Structure 1
Amino acid sequence: MPRLHIFLFALLALALAPSAVLCAVLGIDFGQSSTKAALVSPGVPFEIVLTRDSKRKDVSGLAFKGDERLYGGSAAAIAPRVPATSFLNFKPLLGKSVDSDEAELYLSRHPGSTLIPAGNRSTVSFKTPDSSFPIEELLGMSFSHIKKLAEEMLPKDSATNSVYETSVTVPPYFTTVQRRAIIDAAEIGGLKVVSLVSDGVATAINYASSRTFTSEKQYHFIFDVGAGSTSATLVSFQEGKASGSMFGKSALNITVEGVGYDTALGGDLLDDRVYQLLLSKFVEAHGSGIESNPRALIRLRKEAERAKTILSANTEVRVSAESLYDDIDFRTILTRAEFEAAIEDLLPRIRKPFEAALAKAGADILDVNSVIIMGGSSRVPVFQQVLVKDVLKGDASKVSKNVNADEAAVLGATFRGVSVSKQFKTKDINIIEPVEDEFALTVKDAQGSVIGAQSLYPSGTIVSKNRTQTRLEIPEDANEAVLEFTEGSTTLFKYSLNDIQKSKETILAANNCSELYPVIESELSVSRTFDVHAVAWFCNVTIPTAEGDEGPESDDLKHKLLNFFNKSSKSEDSSSTTADASSSETATETSAEEAETSSSTATTSSKKPKPTLPPKPRTTKQPIKYKVTYLGPRNLGRATKTTSQSRLRAFDRLDSDRQAKETARNSLEAYAYRIREWIEYENVRFMEHSNEEERQAFLAMAMATLDWLYEEGESTVLETLKTRLDQLKQFENVVIAREKAKLSSLEEMLRPKTSSAEEEEAFTILPIDKDNLSASTTVMEEATASATDAEETPVETESGPEEHDEL
């Protein structure tokens, strides 16, 4: 059938056609204390994005120095001097309110910071002396900075010159509100999040990408001790069939069997204990006045972080802080024994995430092949001792350190982003990740009494990107109702339904409904974000099929497509298909014959009757009016997001102008120093083509420019810097012009005099004699040799002494 052939050809062409433009994909491992990024693009296969200082990771956060933004390590360096405009390690504040425990803990660790509510969203904004910044906007600035660093890595001849898609790591316990905060921040920073990846899943992807597995399940723990939390993710690796594969192609299945976590146990908590040790030693020796000085406390906390890191490899560390407070130099020695005694009460908490994950999976630690160590704080010796003794029952051989603890997560997140975006061909890896908490709703009447409860996505539901439809159970005669949506024990928002009966009457008046019921359309995305798209009446309408509808032909097309791809039951399907096709062709031919000879009784009587077709079902829907109320922190609205994007672009313009000004200032300063060097060291060109008075005037101008740069150069505008540079270049331009004029004069004097006929012959372009090409080449070589000899052998002339001296 021609139409079937055309359809199949188009289907295969779409399947085999390559993407028109391959885009870059950016993976970001957004941690509480440090952030890493990796890039994949045409010509850049999984490269770590380096900082301005060529480091492979940077401090999470930024700081303002006036209207200048500093990122990462540069921000951390000035934080003790400008604590009110330094925003570091704020990841725990995403999706939290200012009166939350996380906000209180943050303020205790970052004295000098001020948190205020972000409008009516019940989330956090940072207050500065002259402005305020929603936390999503600050994170968006950091993402935008990483995006620029990644775009600078793109080859000049690359198929793309920008980065748009990104995949970001998140802790497994992050809620929908926290995950959406990251998505909003990425959008402000000019990025589209294709996937949010749990830290443990990202590491598992990286671990599996370079290894092979069999059909027998292997169980591995990802033990991640980060700056803010500790998690234990039990994953299984098993080779299986690729989803949607028509030819039995295999793929690796990574299944999250169970997850356990401690949201407070991490490197920052260990830093707190070291910080308290150092603070108590200072107070004991010099009094408690330091406790009211935010700058001194921030410096002492930085020393505590450094001391904890050193104690992971040494038994003691010397702490030294010059003029820490009130011109007091603080020096002390901290031992590993003191540190371990200070964190002794935290050690039993290490095994609890493992126990929770094993309980959810119904597994035993003996079934686990290895424990993959991740996170900077996992290097603390006493942590590893507890892991072997209390978790692995003394079996140290299961502790695996064969992944890059710093970069495995970012590379896995990048791989996941590439897989989801389908920009490049990758190893087939299926991620099977169930949700931790149940997404449900409670139905209340207008007076607030509970009249029902429903589960939308039970705990253990596998995440997908498909919308689902759930029948809403409300009284048939209800005109108002309240739907409260929850994630675990947290209420996200509520929908107040109004005029339910009016919307019901509207759809009944327009349709003959055989079945009518209210429905909630919702979605649980691959990033584990929950959305409600609609609340509406669904009406099932049965419409009889018209006589002219091509029902049999349509069924025949579907039947043939199934045969084409599945190749099963060939004999049965082909016989029924042939019969249906014959019947369809006969009906078509008879209809055409009837149209041409409608007056012929014999032809009309020979027509075959058309088969009676079953009725076609159709579903229509009528939205129910509702009002959304958020009962806790909520995400950015469109207007707020637009405002943040505009402010970010304004800061970008300031950065661009500042960079151009700095470049012009450096060029002017370098050129002034170069002039001084030329004149003081008697550069040959300048000595030959200028006099002493000109050189001294030029040197005075250069020195005056340097003095002006140090006094006023910082505050001047870009155009003034460019004008100054042009003024300095005038003298060099004069010297160059004089040099060129003298060279031209010498060339004119050395040029042999020829007659006009000879000049014409010299400048006539002769055609190439292809038959005598070798002879022409020989003549050319002889001419070249003669010219060379003429240059090497001085020519004797009859010119007098005056002419010779002038030359």
Structure 2
Amino acid sequence: MSVVGIDFGSLNTIVAVARNRGVDVITNEVSNRATPSLVGFGPKCRYLGEAAKTQEVSNLKNTVGCLKRLVGRSFNDPDVQIEQKYISAPLVDVNGQVGAEVSYLGKKEKFTATQLVAMFLSKVKQFTQAEIKLPVSDIVMSVPAWYTDSQRRALVDATEIAGLKLLRLINDTTAAALGYGITKLDLPSADEKPRRVCFVDVGYSDYAVAVVEFRKGELAVKGQAYDRHFGGRDFDRALVEHLHKEFLAKYKIDIFSNPKATARVFAAAEKTKKVLSANQQAPLTIESLMNDIDVRAMITRQEFEAMVEPLLNRVTGVIEQALADAKLAKEDMDIIEIVGGGSRVPAIKERVGNFFNKPLSFTLNQDEAIARGCAFSCAILSPIFKVRDFAVQDVISYPIEFAWEKDADIPDEDTSLVVFNKGNVLPSTKILTFYRKQPFDLEARYANPQDLPGKIPPFIGRFSVKGVKATDGPDDFMICKLKARVNIHGILNVESGYYVEDQEVEEEIKEDDKKDGDAMDTDSKDDKPKTRKVKKQVRKGELPIVSATQSLDASSKNLLIEKEATMVADDKLVAETEEKKNELETYIYDMRNKLDDQYADLASEEEKEKIREKLTATEDWLYDEGDDTTKSVYIAKLEEIRALAGPVVQRHFEKRARKAAAAEAARKAAEAEKAQQGGDAAASNSEAKDEEMTDADAPSKEGKEEAAGDP
């Protein structure tokens, strides 16, 4: 099993895994650490991630991006119309949800945003499993703090369709805060003043600020604010609109009239923006942009900052709102931590620094901080991984109220109540009490619809409470208790219901409750403990609850799971077919070269001619009718060539085997000869030593004889 964190971005998605006593960001199939959040469709298969990016310009009408901005929305939402500016595929209504109409397998198809996200997550799952060599199940995924209940439910549905188990949806800035805090060993203790950090996150499509307090082993989000239409792409668009005017005046071409030209200018503008983050000016050149016209421009940083001045003026407003929610002043902040790729624009850093009047901190990887935080969160929640305990206390972004019909028997009853306020701790549970004689309905909705993104309806869900009836008589009410919970994903449910009865029970009087004058009464050991009768509510039974929310129903979800599994299998078959086609083509060229090289002296001219004819015929077929056929046909064609060339290839292997055997025999003979020579040398050395010893003794003997013969 694995522990995976996914930073699901509008432009790119980054995946991190907990392993090797730490967290690693993994690479995709082309060794990139960030994967384009794109889904494309073609005549044979889907293109997901990197493959979709490769063919994006040539397949604009069938490529969908900004998936994070579409999920959980309706087609009529004004925010969706804004997204259409950044998506070339036509957006359409699909059963009340926004979706895309594309050409897939030669026919028009409509897919909801939930399905598109599920397709992309299937790809993420695939390359993650290939990289870590483990099955992927448990994940934690990041979402913007401004996501509503319907958007969060849609993402939960998408993960299930993709075959993933979602442990938590975590807000982007909260994930970054967790990644920051869990690695810090110097956080203040519980009785000390907390460390206050302001996280400023500028992404591709939105901008968020969170004020977070850290203590040892815990973090608490105190305030957060966001601007949903402030990000890197808005800076790109400002530059594109400037270039549109310049090219129209200079080259007489209107890039907005040509979708492919617009896409190429957007790509060039993004690169120019990045160059200007490190340089004072940047050249821009696009060859054959439109009508075979090459375009050139020179942009200075000063010009660029003038183009985006309206955006820059919105930087500090979001920070002020976050501080106001946290009831803190900018002077209370200890550290200003900057994350998000969009924050690399020097003018943004300058505005933030000037607002706080203190140095900015860049201790986190700006692109990967959120993914790492998600992986840490997944490790904390997963039972298969041991990690340091770190409590995460997030907050609810929008106030939630419950409404119900007035009961005729309770004329002065209120019909609505705000149960979860903005800023309440997340997750959070509340018990609601109702006095009823018959089944009733509750409706959950957002209390301030004007604060919601776009025109997302305030409706969250309807909950029907069953099994309610008068207890003893027509005038008696059933006391109904309902457990409402905003869970770890930020999703609201009425999880359970039960009814209680008021009963008198005997309760022992504790020492603290006794009066001083009663002290003597308890001195005797024979006295029984004193009790008193009190009224308590005793749980008597369960109340069934039928929920109607914006999540997919079980049957619809199962159909989409089956459809996704079928499309995954189809994509796999297409990939394997292409692989076999390439294998056949490679074998043809390889065999042709070897006939004139390695196999030249191993085959007769007649055999070579037959093989060459077969290779040529197969090659002609491959580039004609065989250009688009099935996997089995390519395998059969490859086997035909291998069968014909088999005897020649076998001779080559036999020749290599003989050479190898001869070489081995020669090696052994050389070793034996060397060993023999070593033995002979040892014998010679022994004889020489004996002779040397004899020669050494001779003078001594002669000397003795001479001495003996002296007078």
Is the TM value for this pair above 0.5?
yes
Who is 2:484 aligned against?
522
- Structure 1 unaligned regions, length at least 5: 1-22, 156-160, 240-251, 546-550, 553-578, 581-610, 748-780, 790-807
TM-fit CA distance, 1:745: 12
* Secondary structure of the structure 1 residue equivalent to 2:627: coil
Given that residues 594 and 600 in structure 2 are in contact (C-alpha distance below 8 angstroms), is that contact kept between their aligned partners in structure 1? no
Tell me, yes or no, if structure 1 residue 531 matches structure 2 residue 493: yes
2:291 to 326, 329, 348: 326
* Secondary structure of the structure 2 residue equivalent to 1:220: strand
2:539 to 607, 614, 619: 619
Given that residues 99 and 110 in structure 2 are in contact (C-alpha distance below 8 angstroms), is that contact kept between their aligned partners in structure 1? yes
Who is 1:676 aligned against?
592
Who is 1:483 aligned against?
443
1:452 to 409, 415, 439: 415
Tell me, yes or no, if structure 1 residue 658 matches structure 2 residue 658: no
- Structure 2 unaligned regions, length at least 5: 450-456, 509-524, 661-667, 677-711
Tell me, yes or no, if structure 1 residue 29 matches structure 2 residue 13: no
* Secondary structure of the structure 2 residue equivalent to 1:649: helix
Q: TM-score, with normalisation over the residues of structure 1?
A: 0.72
Given that residues 443 and 484 in structure 1 are in contact (C-alpha distance below 8 angstroms), is that contact kept between their aligned partners in structure 2? no
Who is 1:64 aligned against?
41
TM-fit CA distance, 1:520: 2.8
Who is 2:376 aligned against?
415
TM-fit CA distance, 1:615: 11
Tell me, yes or no, if structure 1 residue 169 matches structure 2 residue 142: yes
Cα 1:729–1:616 change in 2 (3 A) is same
* Secondary structure of the structure 1 residue equivalent to 2:240: helix
Who is 2:552 aligned against?
636
Aligned-partner Cα distance in 1 for 2:504–2:60? 70
Between stretches 361-370 and 285-294, larger displacement belongs to: 285-294
TM-fit CA distance, 1:323: 2.6
1:126-275 mapped onto 2 (5 Å cutoff): 126-129=100-103, 130-155=108-133, 161-212=134-185, 213-215=187-189, 216=192, 217-239=194-216, 252-275=217-240
Aligned-partner Cα distance in 2 for 1:278–1:679? 57
Q: Show CA shifts across 1:463-496 (max 9, x none).
A: 237x542113x7x578866635325435224538
Given that residues 515 and 541 in structure 1 are in contact (C-alpha distance below 8 angstroms), is that contact kept between their aligned partners in structure 2? no
Given that residues 504 and 622 in structure 1 are in contact (C-alpha distance below 8 angstroms), is that contact kept between their aligned partners in structure 2? no
Q: 1:392 is aligned with what amino acid?
A: F
Who is 1:100 aligned against?
77
Tell me, yes or no, if structure 1 residue 492 matches structure 2 residue 470: no
TM-fit CA distance, 1:109: 2.5
Q: TM-score, with normalisation over the residues of structure 2?
A: 0.81
Cα 1:44–1:366 change in 2 (3 A) is closer
Root-mean-square deviation (CA, aligned residues, Å) is: 3.8
Given that residues 312 and 381 in structure 1 are in contact (C-alpha distance below 8 angstroms), is that contact kept between their aligned partners in structure 2? yes
Given that residues 281 and 301 in structure 2 are in contact (C-alpha distance below 8 angstroms), is that contact kept between their aligned partners in structure 1? yes
* Secondary structure of the structure 2 residue equivalent to 1:52: coil
Given that residues 186 and 192 in structure 1 are in contact (C-alpha distance below 8 angstroms), is that contact kept between their aligned partners in structure 2? yes
Aligned-partner Cα distance in 2 for 1:280–1:132? 36
Who is 1:392 aligned against?
356
**Identity over aligned residues, as a percent?**
23
Cα 1:238–1:106 change in 2 (3 A) is same
Aligned-partner Cα distance in 1 for 2:210–2:658? 82
Given that residues 49 and 149 in structure 1 are in contact (C-alpha distance below 8 angstroms), is that contact kept between their aligned partners in structure 2? no
Given that residues 540 and 618 in structure 1 are in contact (C-alpha distance below 8 angstroms), is that contact kept between their aligned partners in structure 2? yes
Q: Show CA shifts across 1:129-162 (max 9, x none).
A: 410111111111111111111111234xxxxx41
Given that residues 60 and 89 in structure 1 are in contact (C-alpha distance below 8 angstroms), is that contact kept between their aligned partners in structure 2? yes
Who is 1:439 aligned against?
400
1:663-742 mapped onto 2 (5 Å cutoff): 663-681=579-597, 683=598, 686-737=599-650
Cα 1:705–1:787 change in 2 (3 A) is farther
Cα 1:262–1:712 change in 2 (3 A) is same
1:309 to 274, 282, 288: 274
Cα 1:477–1:46 change in 2 (3 A) is closer
Aligned-partner Cα distance in 2 for 1:480–1:367? 49
TM-fit CA distance, 1:68: 2.0
2:27 to 50, 53, 57: 50
TM-fit CA distance, 1:638: 2.3
Cα 1:494–1:785 change in 2 (3 A) is closer
* Secondary structure of the structure 2 residue equivalent to 1:382: helix
Q: 1:127 is aligned with what amino acid?
A: E
Tell me, yes or no, if structure 1 residue 116 matches structure 2 residue 116: no
Aligned-partner Cα distance in 2 for 1:145–1:408? 22
Aligned-partner Cα distance in 2 for 1:428–1:496? 36
Tell me, yes or no, if structure 1 residue 89 matches structure 2 residue 59: no
* Secondary structure of the structure 1 residue equivalent to 2:213: strand
* Secondary structure of the structure 2 residue equivalent to 1:320: strand
Cα 1:224–1:469 change in 2 (3 A) is same
Cα 1:187–1:388 change in 2 (3 A) is same
TM-fit CA distance, 1:642: 2.0
* Secondary structure of the structure 2 residue equivalent to 1:96: coil
Cα 1:735–1:218 change in 2 (3 A) is same
Given that residues 76 and 88 in structure 1 are in contact (C-alpha distance below 8 angstroms), is that contact kept between their aligned partners in structure 2? no
Tell me, yes or no, if structure 1 residue 406 matches structure 2 residue 367: yes
Cα 1:162–1:732 change in 2 (3 A) is same
Given that residues 504 and 537 in structure 1 are in contact (C-alpha distance below 8 angstroms), is that contact kept between their aligned partners in structure 2? no
Who is 2:686 aligned against?
none
* Secondary structure of the structure 2 residue equivalent to 1:179: helix
